[in-house]
Amino acid sequence: MKNINKLAIFATSALFAASCSQHEDLQVGNDNFPADGVIRISAGVNNPQTRAGVKTSNLSDFYLFIENPANEKYTYNAHIVKENSIWNTYDAASTDSPLLMLWQNKTQKVNVSAATIKNAPTAEEWKGNSLVTINVFSLQNSEQGIVASDFLYMPKTEVNPATGLTTEGWLNITLNHRLSKINLMLELGTEFNLGTNSTETNPVTAVSVKGSCTQASWNLATNELSNLTNVNGIAPFAGDYFAGDGLTTKARAGYECILIPQTLGSGALSVEVTIGDKTYTWKSTTEITLDSDTVYNLALMVGKDGVTTGSITTNPWVELDPTDIETE
């Protein structure tokens, strides 16, 4: 979509030499500081092993706010887009307008924030003077649905261009997950192996994670969430499935979904699992607090007569191997 703008980017770079007189105190040759004073971006997600959701390999774009407290001319609200493995910079207000960002000089510190949001944040939203509304999808049973629910964020960070750049002289943006994830592992009793359809393929026809708010207001300056609303069920993304065998090996089915961080009272969080014409329901028996950038692992044992559970455990937002469960 933006290929037609590449010539504009090159033209802007070519004209940069003619505008050096307007660039304050460039002072070339300071270690990793770029000789031409251009702010170039490298970016990634701080979760190299995550399975479903946004990761470095499928991160395609994000918004960036660089605030120079000393000179408004060097403050930028940008849309950073990956094109042919290169992070190109556009004006956040107009995604077809290339934006050349410059350091004021090699020592002037700036405040840098970044986020993946559906709509371009305004400068007032970056400063926290107005809030951004975010939603997680009720249908996260596709890659598109779970990726669209996964918001990434780098809080306001002070960067000194004299010491804070990569060895190539680039500004590195490291994004973390702003929301929470639940990894759900269903273990089916061996009696399901003996049914009409057995467990050669996953017999679970529907899963819903219920009871959480799916919409919130986000203060990009303070990273606080408020005004949580829209309690709704979420259809999770199906992960690994392991078939059962006879009376010795239980089938296991993994699922995952993204939830807005919040505190859920006892009994608020529930999971419904449908197998054939029967629906099994589990409800939490304790209060659960969901934190950002955290994975909650919930193991449910489903038998013909009902569903039981082990404890809920937490991990950093990384991929986990399926865990063996010993009892039905």
Secondary structure (DSSP) of 37-70: -B--EEEEES-TT--SS--GGG--EEEEEEE-SS
Instruction: With CA atoms as reference, report the closest residue to 238 among 324, 145, 134.
Output: 145
SS3 (DSSP) at 242? strand
Supply the pLDDT for residue 246.
86
**CA 271, CA 95: separation in Å to the nearest integer?**
41
170, 232: one domain: no
pLDDT of residue 49: 53
CB 70 within 8 A of CB 108: yes
Give me the pLDDT at residue 23, please. Answer: 52
Report the C-alpha gap between 48 and 318 in whole angstroms: 7
Q: Is residue 286 part of a domain?
A: yes
Q: Residue 124 is inside which H or E element, if any?
A: helix 123-126
Question: Does residue 172 lie in a domain region?
Answer: yes
**Which of 177, 194, 217 is the C-terminal boundary of a domain?**
177
67 plus 173 within the same structural domain: yes
Same domain, 216 and 296: yes
User: Global pTM?
Assistant: 0.83
How many other C-beta atoms can be found within 10 angstroms of the C-beta atom of residue 54? Answer: 23
The Cα–Cα gap between 256 and 182 comes to 5
Residue-number span of the structural domain to which 41 is assigned: 3-116+152-177
Specify if 282 maps to a domain: yes
Whether 63 is in a domain gets the answer yes
Q: Are residues 173 and 231 in the same domain?
A: no
98 and 187 share one domain:
no
Domain count, the chain: 2
CA distances from 278 to 201, 274, 275, 281 (A): 17, 6, 6, 10
Residues 162 and 278 in one domain: no
pLDDT in tens, the chain (328 residues): 444 343 333 333 333 333 444 455 444 444 789 999 999 999 999 875 566 788 888 899 999 999 999 999 999 999 999 999 999 999 998 877 999 999 999 999 999 999 999 999 999 999 999 999 999 999 999 999 999 999 999 999 999 999 999 999 999 999 999 999 999 999 998 889 886 668 999 999 999 999 999 999 999 999 999 999 999 999 999 999 999 998 889 999 999 999 999 999 999 999 999 998 899 999 998 999 999 999 999 999 998 777 877 667 776 664 433 333 222 2
How much is the pLDDT for 272? 94
| Same domain membership, residue 235 and residue 213 | yes
Note whether 245 and 303 are same-domain residues.
yes
Taking alpha carbons only, the member of 163, 70, 79, 85 closest to residue 117 is: 79
pLDDT at 52: 74
